[in-house]
Structure 1
Amino acid sequence: MYHLICTDIDGTLLNADRYLSDLTVSAFAKANLPTILASSRMPSAMHYLQKGLDIQNAPLIAYNGGLILGKNGICIESNTMPLGVLEDLLTHHKKHTYNLSIYADDDWFTDQEDFWSLREINNTRVTPIYQEGFESHAFLKTNQRAPHKLMCMGDASEIDSIVSYLADRHNKQVHLYRSKDTYLEITPKYIDKAKALRILLDHSFDFEMDNVIAFGDNHNDEELLKHAGFGVAVANATDKLKAIANHTSAFTNKEEAVAKAIEAFLLSDKRI
């Protein structure tokens, strides 16, 4: 029996309008299981989706496992990267035009309103704090804080140069996750959604990973689907994730793949 649903958000749960369809909301309500959203997003960018699913006070996994929040937003574990990574990236950024976004706790800092920041505002319903990157670095240093995630958005050739630059300097400290040619997410090296979920289960629940059904679409969902009791890849998932999953949906996220899998495996006579 499965006692908890853990799902990725972008490319997995959301429809073409980047929100929850009526069918998705209905399926989760009928399943009536604890639900954990696990995403590369910051907490604020997940709260409106929790509200839409009527799980406002539920635990969540932000920054791909970098920040683990228990019920009512209580911090269970926080994993950040050294400020030196940001310092080096700022040196690189001075010579380029890509958008650099800095995420720490539930704050998002970026230095300009541009195509990329406006796109993220539209996608996540969160507005950043606009200030120069070195000012953001100084603020974090003064307040003894560090980034949970750095995100670079821009021309694919510029993103290529960042990957080469940081891999030479900080390969042992950070993971470079490229969700698209134009997007690079930089997170602490040894985190993932499966590790974060285990920590949450130990802290807040009385069952194991075998009792979790999980959903995903991309590289940052591989460990989650590998270690969950039952892993479902949506039709638009990477080939590697499909190979890992217990089941690959015939439907994409835009075709309500998660809702249809919940109906098939948790609500029907075929329930697992």
Structure 2
Amino acid sequence: MNYNLICTDIDGTLLNADRYLSDTTVSAFANLPTDTVGVNFPTVLASSRMPSAMYYLQEGLGIKNAPLIAYNGGLILGENGVCIESHTMPLGILEALLPHHAKYTYNLSIYADDDWFTDQEDFWSLREINNTRVTPTYQSALDSLETLRKAQRAPHKLMCMGDVGEIDSIVSHLSDIYSDAVHLYRSKDTYLEITPKHIDKAKALRILLENNFDFGMDTVMAFGDNHNDEELIKHAGFGVAVANATDQLKRLANYVSPFTNKEDAVAKAIERFVSGQ
């Protein structure tokens, strides 16, 4: 089968133990076939990350200014950063979380467009800075709420990082009232990502293909490792789960790599299935 585009998750899928691109991965993407005028093989990064936390990886792969899918499908950017679609959540959800946040110590990070707001430099924010190479704007959550309200903006994502019990409490606090409006996704026991309900990477990729390309999902090779990749792996023409993926994702995949993200799973699958096509 011939593939026309690669769409890959980032954390736990594409990046190595150093949270970056291995030489093997960079080489695999560099060796992808080009078209008759030398244009790069289409590659789309799809992540829960904000755009700025993806740009340096695009540069590393030699696909600067390529389309991308941020916030698990909440923000779809075409070539050169042109916004195709943007899905945010009501400011009332952030407002409802503030009294709860005031009682606990978890980090509350607020993402809107390409801005990241959080109230303090702590273990969690420093960890995210290290992982994503983005520095937040430090201000109180209340000030962030007012900043967004005055600009008539709304969050693409809220992320809560902290003690497992505190994260459990957030889920209980929000799920009864806002379960129809937001998706509460735990990438780890200590991480909770809150995004608009009816978005996913597969929906976003379909929209991107309709706007920027002349082929459909059936010729896409997709890679993932976690629950937020399920729709993408299910609906891509060829879905690949890395060895460290969840059991559910492996069941949905067309191919389960014997290699983890730390063992260059994406690169090895590209070399096996795409480079020689």
Please indicate, yes or no, whether the TM-score normalized by the shorter chain is above 0.5: yes
Gaps of 5+ in 2: 34-40
**2:126 corresponding residue in structure 1:** 118
1: CA distance, partners of 2:275 / 2:151: 49
Specify the alignment match of 1:22 in structure 2.
Answer: 23
Q: Which residue is equivalent to 1:184?
A: 192
Alignment partners' CA distance in 1, 2:58 and 2:190? 28
Counterpart residue type for residue 27 of structure 1: A
Please name the residue that 1:77 is paired with: 85
Q: Which residue of 2 aligns with 1:142?
A: 150
Structure 2 letter corresponding to 1:113: E
1:1-46 per-position Cα deviation (integer Å, ceiling 9, x unaligned): 2100000000000001110011101111111420000000000000
Look up the match of 1:31: 32
1:94 equivalent in alignment to 2:88? no
Secondary structure, counterpart of 2:159 in structure 1: strand
**Aligned-residue RMSD, C-alpha:** 0.6
Question: How far 1:266 sits from its partner (Å)?
Answer: 1.1
What are the equivalent positions in structure 2 for 1:232-247 lying under 5 Å apart?
232-247=240-255
Distance 2:210 2:185 in 1: 27
Instruction: Give distance in 1, aligned partners of 2:100 and 2:71.
Output: 23
Report the counterpart of residue 182 of structure 2 in structure 1.
174
Distance 1:225 1:201 in 2: 16
- Give me the whole-angstrom Cα distance separating, in 2, the residues matched to 1:106 and 1:267: 34
Task: Say how many residue pairs are matched.
Answer: 269
Partner letter of residue 82 of structure 1? P
Tell me the equivalent position of 2:60.
52
Q: 2:256 — aligned with what?
A: 248
Give CA-to-partner distance per residue, 1:158-178, whole Å, 9 cap, x none.
Answer: 000000110011011000000
Q: What's the secondary structure of 1:28's corresponding residue?
A: helix
Q: What secondary structure does 1:42 align onto?
A: coil
Question: How much has 1:267 moved relative to structure 2?
Answer: 2.3
Cα distance in 2 for partners of 1:98, 1:143 equals 26
Correspondence for 1:208? 216
- Following the alignment from structure 1 to structure 2, what is the Cα–Cα distance between the partners of residues 54 and 62? 19
Distance 2:191 2:274 in 1: 35
Gaps of 5+ in 1: none
State how far apart, in whole Å, the 1-side matches of 2:65 and 2:118 are. Answer: 28
Q: What's the TM-score once normalised by structure 2's chain length? A: 0.96
Q: Are residue 151 (structure 1) and residue 152 (structure 2) matched?
A: no
Identical positions, percent: 78
Q: Which amino acid aligns with 2:270?
A: I
**CA distance in 1: counterparts of 2:236 and 2:66, whole angstroms:** 19
Moved over 2 A (4+): none
Residue type at the aligned position of 1:4: L
